[in-house]
Structure 1
Amino acid sequence: MVSRLVRLVMAALLLSLCACNINPKAVPCDPIDGRNLAPDTGTLMGVNLEWGRETLAEYSEKLGERPAVAVTFADFPFNEEDPGLLASAAEQLRQNGGMLLLTLEPMDGLDAVTSERADELAALLARFNTNGVPVIIRFAHEMNGSWYPWGQQPAEYIAAYRRVADAVHAQAPGSAMMWAPNYAGGYPFAGGEFESLPGAPGFPALDTTGDGTLTAFDDPYAPYYPGDDAVDWVGMSLYHWGNTYPWSESEMPEEGKFIDQLTGTYNGKNGNDSMLPDFYTQYGVDHGKPVAIPETASLVQADIGELRSLNIKRAWWEQVFDPTVHKRFPHLKMVNWFEWNKMEPEVGAPVDWTVLENNTTHDEFTTALPDWYHYAPEPHTCGEPLT
């Protein structure tokens, strides 16, 4: 959901931040176990921060807590400014506490994800880990979609994912790998630039029913799974975009929508998705992986009025915060809120995804935060500045 242009704007603020060492004597940090970042019980509370607009410390002050996870994006292989930009984000986490969820986007295609580039990534992550910052890599998310250069190419995707995972696991033990497909409502997402069609090299692997076509009855996840040894977390972004396509209306979410999408049982105004696999059970429980919602929020056009906006956002977070979620889904270990106000091409208008910008919404959201959410530990007092 974050454009290349926006990431460039982020850099200006991040790279101007103070690189003051909060521990001038550079006390070494304890080793981080990247395979053990999930809490035993409860859920990590995180944020997709609009880095170019506010710092992590400023967001934490508004929230009243320091989020356990902060999400950022980068092209991969890295562009020239990306390592410095990421180091600045990691430095904020070192000073504020918490872990980095780094979404890597191979915009030049999967062939560009070489072993050499994976080793460069691992070296950068190892530096972050050594200085107290855990990192989870969400590599080439939404790979089952047809809108990214890495989409609907199962064999190439799995090979690239495993190449990155091998380097990260071997060289950056304080880091972990997340596999995160797109929610499969609407699969196989016909009409996208990178749609797989009959005759394409990867098509037979995607045609899980063997009938020569891709439909909603083909498995939208399994052909892309890289293997339990390569995957540490599984994730799926779940937004309330509205109730019907095209996404141009600010609408109240249907009751139970969040749980229904997580479990593949949604059958409502946007269609019948009840033929989908139960993502939570199949990949969280059966594969024994912690489950993340890397991004969530509810669509509200910026000009609909304060009361209507509050009602829609509240209705969504009440579903996510429902005690039933905590009881039924103990493998759900991370939920990250998308705190952006941005133009959405699918809507053709600005969308206010935020929950902390409006005073009334802020107060209700922070009051509603459940007691089973976990926040960042105390800020690090070890390591050296990363910028």
Structure 2
Amino acid sequence: MPVGVAVVAAVLGTASIAGGLADRDRKNLEAATSQRAVAVPTCEVTDGNSLIPRPGSALFGVNLNLDAKPLAQYAADLGHKPAVSVSFADFPYTEQERTHLQQAAAQVRADGHIMLLTLEPKQGLAAVTPDVINALVKDLVSINGQGVPVIVRLAHEMNGSWYPWSQQPVEYKAMFTQVADAVHTGAPGSAMMWAPNYAGGYPFAGGQFESTAGSADFAALDTDHDGALTMADDPYAPYYPGDGVVDWVGMSLYHWGAKYPWGENEIPEANKFADQLTGTYVGANGDDSLLPDFYGVYGKDHNKPVAIPETAALYNPAAGGAAEIDIKRLWWEQVFSPQIHTRFPNLKMINWFEWDKNEVEVKGRIDWTTTNSPSIQGAFTAALPDWLQYGQGTSCRPTEE
């Protein structure tokens, strides 16, 4: 599959924090359901190469709470149709979830461009059987045929310790390869994204699904062969399925604050976004400068387009401290800076996390949004750089079912 076939399938939840994700996933799926008849066009299946952003640009997308704001309203607020939009499903998924995905595709077709589909094997990696994979490919072909490219972000944050597919590199890579081979062969309008968790705090000791000493997976993760898993071990490479099956690589990067515990309104540190992307950040988790350079290794050495599946800056309405506009503006100024664009030419997608929700880690409401407040919306939309690429919708002519 040519490089650039995929953009990210959306990250669920924060970049390095476990838990509190199921409700978000379910609500986003539920919100995609419509009672109206669906307009189903007949379209030529999109060639994956056409999803590659034009040279010198990056796709702009959104992880949106569709319960609170339809995609059409977000596009109106932003002044652009987002190039990418998020959907979620368990894997294998239920018939109800399958219906939700079809309905989500209709929204993307009307008010976006690309569906970002995160598939979560919550029953464990063994549940991803050939029959499950074949059913996925069939559904991808159907959605692609309606004029909606799909990018599958499969079993994200696999290097964490909080998911049933966590820290099982041997089984994970085999599963990813099986799915990718089937998608590449059977659904040419879809593609694959590999997206580990930002590794500050690796190996995330104490998680329910952390690797145990003595297993084959533990041995594979112990990259320095000292008999222990620490930040000195490579937190990404053992999980990488290979250039032949990975189209895009991605990592979500947030400003949760400058120091733990989370929930305080704090100004982002200078260069934090770039430092996290390159493994040189020194901050909330201590010194993360032992981490590999994610962009350098996978964006440059492996020559993969790099996506930021989700990004945003924490604002706690119930706390004092820095002002909302200052926190968010200083974060988006980093993300959209000319220096970022110049320094990271393979950064090809940025997806904003547009949610106002309760966060388990904070035990309260956090407003991550940029379009709900008129003053912030105006500042945010004015700051969008000209190198971002937006969705143009489909040229297919729908017919009523």
1:273 aligned onto 2:308: no
Paired residue secondary structure (2:323): helix
Which residue does 2:22 correspond to in 1?
Answer: 4
Q: How many residues align?
A: 382
TM-superposed deviation, 1:355: 0.7
Answer whether contact 2:28 2:88 (CA < 8 A) is retained. no
User: What is the identity, as a one-letter code, of the residue corresponding to 2:258?
Assistant: N
Is the aligned partner of 1:132 residue 2:147?
A: yes
Task: Specify the SS of the correspondent of 2:95.
Answer: coil
Q: How far apart are the structure 1 equivalents of 2:169 and 2:23? A: 29
1:249–1:301 contact (8 Å) kept in structure 2: yes
- State the partner residue of 1:294: 309
Residues 312-333 of structure 1: CA deviation (Å, up to 9, x unaligned): 0111100001101111111011
Q: Distance in 2 between matches of 1:40 and 1:10?
A: 29
CA contact (8 A) 2:265 2:322 kept: no
Report the Cα offset of residue 12 of structure 1: 4.6
Partner deviation per Cα, 1:263-321 (whole Å, 9 max, x = no partner): 11112354111111111111111111110000100111133479711110111100001
User: Against the structure 1 CA distance between its residues 378 and 73, is the aligned structure 2 distance closer, same or farther, given a 3 Å change threshold?
Assistant: closer
Which residue of the partner structure matches residue 361 of structure 1? 376
Q: Counterpart of 1:14?
A: 32
AA aligned to 1:327 is T
8 Å contact from structure 1 (residues 233, 292) kept in 2: yes
Corresponding residue for 1:37? 51
User: Matches of 2:126 and 2:189 in 1, distance apart?
Assistant: 27
Aligned-partner Cα distance in 2 for 1:6–1:186: 24
CA 253–18 in structure 1, closer or farther in 2 if over 3 Å, else same: same
Alignment gaps of 5+ in structure 2: 1-12, 14-19
Please say if 1:243 is aligned against 2:261: no
- Residue 381 of structure 1, CA deviation: 2.7
Q: Distance in 2 between matches of 1:58 and 1:158?
A: 39
Distance in 1 between the 2:37 and 2:85 partners?
A: 19
Q: What is the one-letter code of the residue matched to 2:380? A: F
Instruction: Decide which of 318, 328, 345 is 1:303's aligned counterpart.
Output: 318
Matched, 1:145 2:163: no
Structure-1 separation of matches of 2:113 and 2:382: 22
Residue in 2 that maps onto 1:73 = 88
Matched, 1:217 2:232: yes
Aligned position for 2:217: 202
Residue aligning to 2:341: 326
3-12 or 68-77: bigger deviation: 3-12
Q: Which residue of 2 aligns with 1:284?
A: 299
Q: CA RMSD in A?
A: 1.8
Which residue of structure 2 lines up, in the alignment, with residue 180 of structure 1?
195
Report if aligned partners of 1:60, 1:66 keep a CA contact under 8 Å in 2. yes
Please state whether the residue corresponding to 2:117 is helix, strand or coil.
strand
Question: 1:157 aligned to 2:175?
Answer: no
- 1:116 is matched with 131
Matched, 1:55 2:70: yes
Counterpart CA distance in 2 for 1:10 and 1:206 is 34
212-221 vs 158-167, which deviates more? Answer: 158-167
The residue identity in structure 1 corresponding to 2:276 is Q
CA deviation vs aligned residue, 1:104-147 (integer Å, no higher than 9, x gap): 11111111011110111111111111111001000000000001
> Does the 8 Å contact 2:234/2:291 carry over to 1?
yes
Cα separation, partners in 2 of 1:6 and 1:311, compared to 1, 3 Å:
same
Distance (whole Å) between structure 2 residues aligned to residue 223 and residue 331 of structure 1: 22
Q: Take 1:204 and 1:8, find their aligned partners in 2: how far apart are those partners?
A: 35
Q: Distance in 1 between matches of 2:395 and 2:66?
A: 20
C-alpha distance in structure 2 between counterparts of 1:376 and 1:131, whole Å: 16
Summarize the Cα distance change of 1:126–1:384 in structure 2 as closer, same or farther, 3 Å threshold: farther
Identity %: 55
Task: Letter of the 1:37 partner, please give it.
Answer: L
Q: TM-score, normalised by structure 2?
A: 0.91
Q: Distance in 2 between matches of 1:306 and 1:92?
A: 38
**How far is 1:71 from its partner?**
1.2
CA contact (8 A) 1:130 1:383 kept: no
The CA deviation string for residues 11-57 of structure 1, in whole angstroms up to 9 with x for no partner, is 55432254453x8xx4x423312255221321100000112222211
Distance 1:19 1:180 in 2: 35
Is 1:97–1:380's contact at 8 Å kept on the other side of the alignment?
A: no
Where does residue 107 of structure 1 map in the other structure?
122
Q: CA deviation at 1:73?
A: 1.4
The TM-score with structure 1 as length reference comes to 0.94
C-alpha separation between the residues in 1 aligned to 2:321 and 2:36? 36
8 Å contact from structure 1 (residues 94, 380) kept in 2: no
In structure 1, stretches of 5+ residues that fail to align are none
Does the 8 A contact of 1:96 with 1:380 survive in 2?
A: no
Is the 8 Å Cα contact of residues 114 and 163 (structure 1) preserved in structure 2? no
